């Protein structure tokens, strides 16, 4: 586990889409700033995901937000518990490699189901 020194976390989000006629849609809310809840440092973990297996994620105490850095991982499903249908995070082919950001309530329960037959890994940042 790698610790990242941070007294303040900032999230900047900008989405820009231009349609075929040249009309641009831009969404850029103001940055969100907050003190990391997992003490004064964020925690970054590399998580091994065995093929066709659910892997529980254990948030550090006080975590307020999680960033799932999926990279090129495929066929991943976010779940609360084994047995629920979950939320597909990445397609079975041609992933976009977009990070997923979720704010956390108290006592979060979450994990990743790797529906790919091969082992994969992702990075997880807890703030």
Distance CA 80, CA 86 (A): 7
What is the 3-state composition of the chain as percent helix, strand, coil, each rounded to the nearest 5?
A: 0, 45, 55
- pLDDT tens-place string over residues 95-118: 999 999 999 999 899 999 999 999
- pLDDT tens-place string over residues 72-82: 999 999 998 76
Ordered structural domains, the chain, with CATH: 2-7+36-126 (2.60.120)
- CA-CA-CA-CA dihedral for 109, 65, 49, 79, to nearest 10: 40
- pLDDT tens-place string over residues 14-66: 999 999 999 999 999 999 999 888 656 689 999 999 999 999 999 998 899 99
- In this prediction the pTM is 0.88
Position 84 scores a pLDDT of: 85
């Amino acid at each position: 586990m790698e610790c990242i020194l941070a007294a303040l976390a900032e999230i900047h989000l900008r989405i820009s889409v231009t349609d075929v006629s040249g009309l641009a849609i831009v969404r850029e809310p103001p940055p969100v700033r907050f003190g990391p809840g997992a003490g004064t440092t964020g925690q970054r973990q590399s998580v091994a995901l065995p093929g066709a297996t659910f892997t529980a994620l254990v948030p550090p105490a006080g975590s307020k937000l999680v960033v799932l850095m999926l990279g090129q991982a495929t066929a991943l499903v976010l779940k609360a518990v084994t047995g629920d249908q979950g939320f597909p995070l990445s397609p079975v082919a041609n992933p976009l490699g977009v990070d997923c950001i979720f704010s956390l309530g108290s006592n979060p329960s979450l994990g990743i189901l790797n529906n790919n037959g091969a082992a994969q890994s992702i990075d997880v940042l807890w703030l």
